[in-house]
Amino acid sequence: MDIHKGQLRTVNVMRYVTPLREGGSLPAIAEADDEFLYVLKFRGAGQGVKALVAELLGGEIARTLGFKIPELVFANLDTAFGRTEPDEEIQDLLKASTGLNLALHYLSGAITYDPTVNRLSGKLSSQIVWLDCLLTNVDRTPRNTNMLMWHQELWLIDHGAALYFHHSWHNWEEQAKRPFAQVKDHVLLPWADELETVDTEFKAILTSERIRAIVNLLPDDWLIDACSEDLAEQRREVYYQFLTTRLSASINFINEAQHARASII
């Protein structure tokens, strides 16, 4: 048993239902052997397993902080799956994604969050902005909010563009302490007026033990690639150190967010 799978369930993908053609990674709605529908994120798409790593870490950190996140599961894709798929692009994607992928429980009937329709409180806006500053999530803009309204509640989705330091691994110690300049484009920044209060509350929740437990969910084969001799545990340690360092230096991204907000209100 892989101890790093922790509390996440593993399902087997049984049926490819339909592609979701938002963005370039071609996620899909798929049915698993538990008879639930999931939004399936493929290891063979776009940024590969690094997007899955960011999705898992970002989603589980958000869940730990009390946000509503669709259940994340490991989704196993058999080598025989998709051989009858007529679309060649999708068939190539399925072939490249054999093994362990990531999926989110499909929120049927959910609609995209629109700030002109559903205004969030200053506290909740601050909480989401703080989260995205911690995760360096560049993908929560007015153009693409990556938030859903489902049963009159706000749900956060799509953290695959977060933690972008891991696409180069260059100077990660320095990057962990940097402000988050892209916060200026955050859809909720104008209403994020309680960042300092949220900083105190969230740092009390995200203890080093909780960060370690979340990082330990990462499967080994998502952390080893042909271009690196780093062992999985070494990569896992870098994610842990990046996140704990960023937490300890949160004043840097708080100040950046406050300055950006002051320039637009």
Q: Residue for token digits 């994120």?
A: 41
Q: Contact at 8 Å (CB) between 232 and 225? A: no
Tell me the C-alpha distance between 187 and 147, whole Å.
10
Res 1: pLDDT: 29
Res 170: pLDDT: 85
Res 87: pLDDT: 77
Res 21: pLDDT: 67
Res 5: pLDDT: 43
Res 122: pLDDT: 98
Tell me the C-alpha distance between 122 and 192, whole Å.
5
* Longest CA pairwise span in the chain (Å): 55
> Digits of tens for pLDDT over the chain (265 positions)?
233 445 899 999 999 998 886 655 689 999 999 999 999 999 998 889 999 999 999 999 999 999 999 999 999 999 877 666 677 888 888 889 999 999 999 999 999 999 999 999 999 999 999 999 999 999 999 999 999 999 999 999 999 999 999 998 889 999 999 999 999 999 999 999 999 999 999 999 999 999 999 999 999 999 987 566 568 999 999 999 999 999 999 999 999 999 999 999 8
E strand spans, 20-169? 28-32, 37-41, 72-77, 99-105, 111-112, 147-150, 153-156
CA dihedral 148, 150, 154, 155 (to 10 degrees): -60
CA dihedral 143, 181, 165, 6 (to 10 degrees): -70
Res 26: pLDDT: 80
What is the model's pTM? 0.93
